[in-house]
Amino acid sequence: MSAHRLRSLDAFRGATIAAMVLVNDPGSLDHIYPQLKHAVWHGWTFTDWIFPFFLFIVGVAMTFSFARRMEEGAGRRVLVLHVVRRSAIIFALGLLVNGFPFWLDPNFSLTTFRIPGVLQRIAICYLIASFIFLTTSARGQALWIVLLLGGYWLMVKWIPVPGYGAGVLEPKGNLLWYVDSTILGTHLGLCADTGL
């Protein structure tokens, strides 16, 4: 094993992948343990932790990877190009997974092809987090956390949604549902009606 690898992170990654396999195929959907289903709206289950676990893994790995590459002499421009390339590849792989096998499904249509997916979201988070990490100090990163979380809350609470008003926190009628359904429309798949 490479001296640069963090064994605890590798172990956590493996456990998260095993958990993902479990929640994606829990056996009979008629007799499923409640923790192996997503929370309908409020609260969370074990299943709802899998995606945040992957983002945590990406964040931890990113800091070690960038530090090592900078020690080896890689400049910021090289790292930014690497991040953009890797994010595009992850996003494209997510689209491939969502649509595979395109040519075998007689109902496949680009007009209803689901764009959002786990890999696509990881790619976007990785891209944004990498830019913040590469361009700011620890203090700047803390400020970004406050601005992003605070801004998110303020927008959801105070920006009115046409036909629903401001501050709606239900699956349908909240600002996030409105933005997603307006921009992505039918590309949200089943999420378009529920906000999930």
Q: Where are the beta strands (DSSP E) in the chain?
A: none
Spatial CB neighbours of 123, under 8 Å, sequence gap ≥ 6: 87, 88, 90, 91, 94
Look at residue 74 and tell me if it is in a domain.
no
The stretch 140-147 carries a mean pLDDT of 96
Look at residue 150 and tell me if it is in a domain.
yes
Look at residue 159 and tell me if it is in a domain.
yes
Whether residue 105 contacts residue 38, with contact meaning beta carbons closer than 8 Å, is answered with no
Range of the domain at 176: 138-196
Look at residue 78 and tell me if it is in a domain.
no
Look at residue 142 and tell me if it is in a domain.
yes
Instruction: Give the integer Cα–Cα distance in Å for 79 and 192.
Output: 36
Look at residue 191 and tell me if it is in a domain.
yes
Number of structural domains found in the chain: 1
- Kindly indicate the confidence band of residue 187, based on its pLDDT and cuts at 50, 70 and 90: low
The stretch 121-142 carries a mean pLDDT of 96
Tell me what pLDDT residue 101 has.
Answer: 75
Look at residue 6 and tell me if it is in a domain.
no
* Highest-confidence segment of 60-64, 93-97, 146-150, 182-186: 146-150
Q: How high is the mean pLDDT of the chain?
A: 88
Whether residue 189 contacts residue 98, with contact meaning beta carbons closer than 8 Å, is answered with no
Instruction: Give the integer Cα–Cα distance in Å for 98 and 114.
Output: 7
Helices (H) and strands (E) in the chain, counts: 7, 0
- Whether cis (ω within 30° of 0) applies to the bond prior to 101 is yes
Tell me what pLDDT residue 103 has.
Answer: 64
Which of 184, 174, 187, 189 lies closest to 41, judged by CA? 174
Q: Give pLDDT tens digits for 68-91.
A: 999 999 899 999 999 999 999 999
Instruction: Give the integer Cα–Cα distance in Å for 8 and 98.
Output: 30
Look at residue 167 and tell me if it is in a domain.
yes
Q: How many residues does the chain have?
A: 196
What is this structure's pTM?
0.84
